[in-house]
């Protein structure tokens, strides 16, 4: 069963997902030669232009996942305008948050996604739409920086463990194993006959 298509612009777009909506401007019907376009602007970023398709007097917007996948995460200001080739009128404005594709941007597991979101929060580049993300029952936007730093260390260990287990499952060496090399007493410079000091355990 197809999802219902909203009759208004979305507040949030997730990069890499399909987005669709319809719009009606009775004073500027598509059948009268008007074209509806949207401009999305992110500070210090290139402009995104979206052109709607005529649907009778109304307009239809359909953004495939391959298009939204290239959208840079952030909080955009958008402007909708109609154009008939000789006139252009602004008909609506608003804001929209583009969220990163969590699977591709923040990792494929819960631990790797959470670690990526923690790092984004620490660096102050967390999009508004992710403010509601919770860790251990607390919204990430309300977690103090010092606590986020501690959580980053915890989740970094989770990710290392997952990576190590994945390597083991694939028959590779465990990257978390470390080996110490010991010298026999009396050999080498630390305690050997050629050294100028006694054994190091004295």
Greater pLDDT, 17 or 129: 17
Please say if the pLDDT value at position 85 is more than 50. yes
Which contiguous run of DSSP H or E holds residue 12? strand 12-14
Q: CATH 2.60.40.10 region(s) of the chain?
A: 12-99
CATH superfamily of 12-99: Immunoglobulins (2.60.40.10)
pTM: 0.56
Please say if the pLDDT value at position 21 is more than 80. yes
pLDDT for the residue 118: 82
The Cα 78–Cα 98 span in angstroms is 12
The Cα 97–Cα 40 span in angstroms is 10
Which range has the top average pLDDT, 47-61, 111-125, 140-154, 183-197?
A: 47-61
pLDDT for the residue 35: 98
For the chain, percent of residues with pLDDT exceeding 90 = 32
- Which pair of tokens denotes residue 18? 């399909």
The Cα 164–Cα 166 span in angstroms is 5
pLDDT for the residue 11: 87
The Cα 98–Cα 87 span in angstroms is 30
């Amino acid at each position: 069963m197809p999802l219902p298509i909203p009759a208004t612009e979305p507040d949030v777009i997730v990069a890499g997902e399909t987005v669709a909506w319809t719009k009606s401007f009775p004073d500027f019907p598509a059948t009268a030669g008007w074209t509806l376009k949207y401009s999305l602007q992110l500070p210090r970023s290139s402009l995104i232009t979206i052109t709607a398709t005529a649907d009778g007097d109304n307009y239809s917007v359909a953004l495939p996942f391959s298009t939204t996948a290239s959208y840079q995460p952030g909080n955009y200001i958008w402007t909708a305008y109609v154009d008939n080739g000789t006139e252009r009128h602004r008909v609506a404005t608003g804001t929209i948050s583009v969220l990163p594709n969590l699977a591709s941007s923040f990792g494929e597991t819960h631990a790797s996604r959470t670690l990526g979101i923690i790092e984004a929060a620490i660096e102050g580049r967390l999009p508004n739409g992710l403010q509601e993300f919770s860790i251990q029952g607390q919204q990430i936007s309300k977690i103090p920086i010092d606590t986020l730093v501690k959580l980053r260390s915890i989740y970094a260990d989770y990710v290392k463990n997952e990576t190590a287990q994945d390597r083991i499952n694939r028959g590779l060496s465990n990257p978390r194993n470390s080996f110490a090399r010991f010298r026999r007493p009396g050999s080498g410079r630390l305690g050997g006959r050629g050294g100028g000091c006694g054994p190091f355990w004295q």
